[in-house]
Amino acid sequence: MAVGLAHDFNDRTVIVTGAAVGLGRSIAYAFAERGAAVWACDIDAAGLMETASAAPAPITTRVVSVADRAGVQDFVGDAWRGTGRIDILVNDAGGLCGQTFQPVDEISEQDWLTVLHANLTGAFLCVQAATPAMKQAGYGRIINVASNAGLHTTVTGIQAYASAKAGLIGLTRQLSQELGRFGVTVNAVAPGAIPCNPYGLAKWESLGPEGQRMALERVAMRRVGHAEDVANAVLFFAQESTRWITGQTLSVDGGRP
């Protein structure tokens, strides 16, 4: 789907994490159809294969956990060696990691860490791997996919998720200060609920027509969000003309009260 803005990412190399479903897949496609060399990773091999097979232009995919420092270094290093550059990093991997609400006094340390590693530490490790290429080039765009859960609270109740996304917003602000002098901008998008992954789609369906109508009453635009809405916001931060914007978090939620 075209965004109606003239972005040209020919000759740009873009890393997209969490590209096996929903937002990450849509973000990978948005860059691929604008000429970028897209390198996409995820831990979900089957989903990643689907992403590659339906891509509007060839993309490179690899099964990598963003929580695995060595795997991330190899993946980003191969993209750098293979294309000669790393221009744009989109840290989309994360989500709820299959978890549901548990009272805070019952959560295992492992469950807490799994969500933190996928949503926050993973972004940190990808930034560590990508910044040498960006510093060398004097150019870079880092875009973190946070969440309204990091700005407000999450209806899922998952404490680690809200904490990780708030942390990602903090990391975005802090890195913008550190990396600006190298020509690297660091921004975040904060989506509202978008039924684009199996969990989100099932939850949306379970609301039924009346529940869905009531949910949309709480959205200014009165419609459900699409993955492309988030991809368009990512493209906004990646384009040349927004080079003076850094350290920002943009809600992409159709307008909430």
Ligand X SMILES: NC(=O)c1ccc[n+]([C@@H]2O[C@H](COP(=O)([O-])OP(=O)(O)OC[C@H]3O[C@@H](n4cnc5c(N)ncnc54)[C@H](O)[C@@H]3O)[C@@H](O)[C@H]2O)c1
Applying CB under 6 A, the residues found at the interface with ligand X are: 17-18, 20-24, 42-44, 47, 65-67, 92-95, 97, 118-119, 122, 145, 147, 191, 193-194, 196-197, 200
Least separation in angstroms between CB 252 and ligand X: 9
What does the alpha-carbon distance between residue 43 and residue 63 come to, in Å, rounded to a whole number? 5
Contact 111, 99 (CB under 8 A): yes
Fill in the amino acid letter for 104.
Answer: V
Least separation in angstroms between CB 16 and ligand X: 10
Report which of 256, 190, 250 is spatially closest to residue 221, judged by C-alpha positions: 256
Cα Rg of the chain (Å, integer): 17
Least separation in angstroms between CB 158 and ligand X: 10
Contact 31, 143 (CB under 8 A): no
Report which of 177, 102, 99, 101 is spatially closest to residue 142, judged by C-alpha positions: 177
Closer residue to ligand X, CB minimum distance, 140 or 195: 195
Report which of 79, 159, 179, 171 is spatially closest to residue 121, judged by C-alpha positions: 171
What does the alpha-carbon distance between residue 15 and residue 7 come to, in Å, rounded to a whole number? 17
| Spacing of C-alpha 89 from chain mean position | 9
Least separation in angstroms between CB 112 and ligand X: 14
What does the alpha-carbon distance between residue 188 and residue 119 come to, in Å, rounded to a whole number? 13
Neighbours of 155 (CB within 10 A): 11
Least separation in angstroms between CB 55 and ligand X: 15
Q: Which two tokens stand for residue 73?
A: 């270094």
Closer residue to ligand X, CB minimum distance, 181 or 257: 257
Least separation in angstroms between CB 42 and ligand X: 4
Q: Which residue is nearest to ligand X (CB)?
A: 95
Closer residue to ligand X, CB minimum distance, 87 or 229: 229
Closer residue to ligand X, CB minimum distance, 122 or 167: 122
Closer residue to ligand X, CB minimum distance, 95 or 140: 95
Whether 139 is a known active-site residue: answer no
Closer residue to ligand X, CB minimum distance, 42 or 87: 42
Catalytic residue among 29, 139, 161, 199: 161
Indicate the SS3 state at residue 140.
strand
Count Cα neighbours of 60 within 13 Å in the Cβ-side half-sphere: 15
| Active site amino acids | 161
